[in-house]
Structure 1
């Protein structure tokens, strides 16, 4: 009986000692990996404070959440800012500080003019209309700010004395992307 108790105690001691040793070895290897990888990554990305400043330059609001994430091998800050218009989700490239994506997370918020006003990097509605009127003389009947292929675009309809014209303008650059003249009298 004493022999069985001794063997059981010895086996338990060896098992616990082995587990502690393996755990210590694993932790030792993890800390070596962290100390060689993390500093090189954190030196090449902007700080949270810089990301918040960039986001607040896009949307005036209160910070709700900030998260550093890796997407397709690229580090990105994902921020949520809330203001009277709703909650804005902003994604910033952590290496360059460039805004990758800006979305308003609010179903009832579709007014293009308010959207354009809250996204400071886009040309204004007034500027888009001026660009459209340089292309075609007419009266604006409709203007919308839309997101297409991760790009904000103004879609403008004008009524002219020859018919209707539809113009699509890149809201970031002001470049005319499309011009459709709906009348046989127009010469393309």
Structure 2
């Protein structure tokens, strides 16, 4: 069955040359695992059997001084891309996309806001490394729970491994209830490193503030347990296309929160949270 997906000998060298990533002498010397082992590591990380996968590309290259195998394959309705450390076999990067879900556009977003059911979020593959405490599926679960969004109501448009200040994180983006959500979840701990969302529908059209500054501040503080008005470091009334908005920043307990509140309705239009280094 493995003959279905393994590239060997001359075919592998030809594939690498055509891909433009060629095997350099330095990369060859640095590689300590075989191409077959790299493919097996990628499939294991995705929790996919070899018989169920079709490898479309497998090359040895050097990226930012690190020799790695880039393995791309399809299985079912998903396309996967993995970068495997050629010395240790560790998963350096991983991403996948659903071939059956079209990119989300403004029409889809408006339909969601109008109560039309969106395509349920796909179950994510397991992309944890040997040292990871949180896999991709768990990271999605953590992000959705933090945002108070049900998985069935979310359309995930991006879910991949990345790095933030040298820390490995999952970048997760999705649309739900007329808003776009952006999250980063630490692989090692499951901690939410960054989070934010942006309302994609206009919820206020007035040209004067009808929600008081005090009320808007309490709306923001209610989202940060333990914070008080003294923790608000920035605050102003601004206008966006004639619509009044309160913009502010809260710094509390090692995190920064930036937000925009509609001054006509009191709705939170934007909210971003970032964990600061201590």
Given candidates 152, 158, 178, the residue that maps to 1:146 is 158
| Residue of structure 2 equivalent to 1:96 | 88
When residues 156 and 102 of structure 1 are mapped into structure 2, their CA distance, relative to the original with a 3 A threshold, is closer
1:177 and 1:41 map into 2 onto residues whose CA distance is 37
When residues 178 and 157 of structure 1 are mapped into structure 2, their CA distance, relative to the original with a 3 A threshold, is farther
| Residue of structure 1 equivalent to 2:185 | 170
State the secondary structure of the residue aligned to 1:51. helix
8 A contact 1:146–1:152 mirrored in 2: no
1:102 and 1:149 map into 2 onto residues whose CA distance is 5
8 A contact 1:154–1:169 mirrored in 2: yes
State the secondary structure of the residue aligned to 1:50. helix
When residues 132 and 57 of structure 1 are mapped into structure 2, their CA distance, relative to the original with a 3 A threshold, is same
Residues 5-37 of structure 1, C-alpha deviation per residue, up to 9 Å, x if partnerless? xxxxxxxxxxxxxxxxxxxxxxxxxxxxxxxx9
When residues 132 and 107 of structure 1 are mapped into structure 2, their CA distance, relative to the original with a 3 A threshold, is closer
| Residue of structure 2 equivalent to 1:5 | none
User: If you compute each CA radius of gyration, which structure gives the higher value, 1 or 2?
Assistant: 1
2:62 and 2:39 map into 1 onto residues whose CA distance is 18
1:91 and 1:40 map into 2 onto residues whose CA distance is 14
8 A contact 1:167–1:176 mirrored in 2: no
8 A contact 2:82–2:95 mirrored in 1: yes
2:80 and 2:161 map into 1 onto residues whose CA distance is 19
- Count of residues in Structure 1 that have an aligned counterpart in Structure 2: 143
- For residues 1-150 of structure 1, the aligned pairs below 5 Å read 41-42=28-29, 45-59=32-46, 60=48, 61-104=53-96, 108-109=100-101, 113-114=121-122, 116=124, 118-121=125-128, 122-124=135-137, 129=141, 140=150, 142=154, 144=156, 146-147=158-159, 150=162
8 A contact 2:186–2:193 mirrored in 1: no
TM-score by length of 1: 0.52
When residues 45 and 115 of structure 1 are mapped into structure 2, their CA distance, relative to the original with a 3 A threshold, is farther
8 A contact 2:156–2:175 mirrored in 1: no
8 A contact 1:132–1:156 mirrored in 2: no
Deviation at 1:77, TM superposition (A): 0.5
1:40 and 1:158 map into 2 onto residues whose CA distance is 44
8 A contact 1:168–1:179 mirrored in 2: yes
State the secondary structure of the residue aligned to 1:124. helix
- Name the one with the larger helix percent: 1
State the secondary structure of the residue aligned to 2:57. strand
**RMSD between superposed Cα atoms in Å:** 4.4
